[in-house]
Homo-oligomer: A and B are copies of this chain.
Amino acid sequence: MAVYTEVSDEDLDRFVALYDIGRVRSCKGIAEGVENSNYLLQTEAGRYILTLYEKRVDPNDLPFFIGLMDHLASRGLGCPLPVRARSGAALGELAGRPAAIVTFLDGQWVRRPTARHCGLLGEALARMHLAGRDFAVRRPNALSMPSWRPLWERSRARAHEVAPELSADVEDELKVLEASWPREGALPWGVIHADLFPDNVFFLGDRLSGLIDFYFACDDMLAYDVAVCLNSWCFEPDLSFDFTKGRAFLAAYESVRRLEPAEVEALPLLASGSALRFLLTRLYDWLNVPPGALVKPKDPLEYHRKLRFHRSISGAAAYGLDPR
């Protein structure tokens, strides 16, 4: 749940007056987004999301995030479109924080995705990858492979509190990944979402209405995004891999952008890396949750189980990828 910055009605009215969206009719803080304060803003012109960027977001990254949404939306991808003030700026300041207004995206995220949802996701992800090809701004992936060992060092001493076998497995996996992680340029690169979990994908009736929360987006291997989605969409609640969902997701992705042989070969490795990345951030949060906090940290062991699956398979066919 988000931390909320209190915005006075006077400050809000003044801020909104810089835009051509009419006067404020209502503005409510919403319980979405962990990094920022988000408000559902209704004006005379329609519904918007107002975001105040809190401390965990680097202000230097904001032009990338805002520019990316602008770029993707202009290419027809369903995603929030940053609204520009009359000055032309899409980024302003409100209550002492960087702030932006984006269009509101109808839809709900699905708590229990089906194979149909996974198919719609695959198509949208591939379309996003294609639409991002001519986006000029660059942002390295701050949570890519080189960051994992330093992240692990911050939790290692207490990892046994979570599970006795965790330390040995993470150490082994780090060695494997450091030895064999693809070099930049070895696989197709581009803009990736990097956090496309079900709560960041909206559906409306039978269609996917859009993607949100681009605040981990960066430049990296496109297939790494595919691996993130395999982890976050294609496992069952009992943490067994759902071959039907994997197949639906990958076939739909490939109907828009076919994976290259090197990407297919690397997929289990990328999926292991992605599982380790979420394991490590969740482990850190799990060990450092303030006592009595209202936010229940997510279970790191979920991703330990998924990691073990990726290590156990012999190739990407186990995900349901069509034979070449």
Give A residues with C-beta under 8 Å from B. 1-4, 6, 8-10, 12, 23-32, 40, 42, 47, 104-112, 202-205, 290-295
| Residues in B neighbouring A42, C-beta threshold 8 A | 47, 106
Indicate if the CB atoms of A30 and B29 lie closer than 8 Å.
Answer: yes
A209 to B293, alpha carbons, bound, how many Å?
35
A205 to B43, alpha carbons, bound, how many Å?
12
A310 to chain B, nearest CB (A): 28
Known: A109-B9, A291-B291. A104 touches B26 (CB 8 A): yes
What is the count of identical protomers in the complex?
2
A272 to B215, alpha carbons, bound, how many Å?
50
A23 to B294, alpha carbons, bound, how many Å?
32
Indicate if the CB atoms of A26 and B108 lie closer than 8 Å.
Answer: yes
Q: List 6 A-B contacts (CB under 8 A).
A: A2-B31, A9-B203, A26-B104, A26-B108, A27-B108, A294-B294
| Residues in B neighbouring A107, C-beta threshold 8 A | 25-26
| Residues in B neighbouring A1, C-beta threshold 8 A | 1, 4, 294
A294 to B34, alpha carbons, bound, how many Å?
13
Known: A290-B292, A292-B290. A111 touches B9 (CB 8 A): yes
| Residues in B neighbouring A47, C-beta threshold 8 A | 42
Known: A10-B112, A108-B12, A294-B294. A29 touches B26 (CB 8 A): no
